Amino acid sequence: MSKKTRTEELEKLAQFGKQVLEQIKKMENPHIQIPLRSLSNTIFDEDKQILKLGNKKQVRTYFNTAHTKKFMQTLLIASACKELIKSGKTTSIRDLFYMTKHTIGTSKENTFEDQEESNAIIEDLEVTIDALRENLHLFASTRGAMVGNATIVDSGDTINLRKMGSGGWGIPSIVEEEVIQFKNVEAEFVLVVEKDAMWRRLNEDKFWKKHNCLLMHGQGMAPRGVRRLLWRLNHELKLPVYVFVDNDPWGFYIYSVYKQGSINLAYESKRMAVTDAKFIGLSSFDQEKFDIPDNATIKLTKTDIARCRQILEYPWFQKKSWQKEIKHMMKKGVKLELEALSKKGLEFTANTYLPQKIENKDWLE
């Protein structure tokens, strides 16, 4: 993290603490206001085509027994982050949980019972002071990988993404400019694959080399590091982004998270959402287009159908093309996983399906 960024985040944390301290000095009931992170306070910005938080806030007051613990937890996490930034060290969100977990005095009450509690407080702090978790010196486990026609610098080490073998370069949680720099990028686009298994198939077939691209996966619902890196590749290098996911409601939503942002992290959409990302498949109409046999399909479950109906109502799925896409899948009553394309041969995806989709601009937005 740059000196300027460290100074900015320290100042935000200091101001956060000073506000509470001033309330105490005035003999007021100490309180903090935290933007509400929920679907009811998530707005789809039609102009910017991203999800963002509304104006609703929740108030945590110290002398409200229902709020006291979370009030204390919020200040505890803020204090720990301040010390991390001052020390110049980073740590995992798992480590932070253990760093801040202890028994209070002689009571049997713990500051945190499990990591889910501390994770939620970290997100509360992020949205309250408008700071990325990564800029608070916190990282999560590495998930996702990338290969392709590019050379990058990772924490001072030069990495040739053309020579990363079968596993690829593991995308870290913190991918900001101070950590990751783009040195020599020859790729013309980025292909994001939902699943590691299909990514490995495409990597083995050297799809990235034949079609001059970067090949990335996020292991399902992509972690923040993958989304943030994708945003940088798109915004800084102007690389088009194609998203390749399962033909089911969960795959559709994963695509929308790349494109518009997520409900849970709507406050970070401006730094993560790739608004011009293209959905390249699998489409509900691909079975007919590519003559995929019926025995490669999977029957939709009641949960799938319920999820379809739910996303049909989301504002960001109101385009006629998306309504048609989802309703066609529901009418057929089946879904397709990426691996279904292997019924046409192991090289079909890399040699026929994806090149044809890209050449014909056969995608959804």
Catalytic residues: 98
Q: What is the rounded CA–CA span in Å between residue 349 and residue 346?
A: 7
- Token pair, residue 72, equals 């204390």
Residue 129 burial class via C-beta count within 10 angstroms: exposed 0-12, middle 13-18, buried 19 and up: middle
The candidate with the shortest Cα–Cα distance to 173, out of 124, 133, 116, is: 133
Quote the distance between the C-alpha of residue 75 and its chain's center.
Answer: 26
Radius of gyration of the chain (CA): 23
The values of phi and psi at residue 313, to 5°, are: -90, -15
Nearest to 119 by CA among 146, 138, 142, 144: 138
Closest by Cα among 190, 193, 144 to 337:
193
Q: Give ∠ CA 162-165-171 in degrees, rounded to 5.
A: 75
Helix (H) or strand (E) holding 221: none
Q: Give the separation between CA 87 and CA 85, rounded to whole angstroms.
A: 5
Find the DSSP H helices in the chain.
3-25, 68-87, 93-100, 115-129, 196-204, 207-210, 224-237, 249-260, 286-289, 302-312, 320-332, 348, 354-359
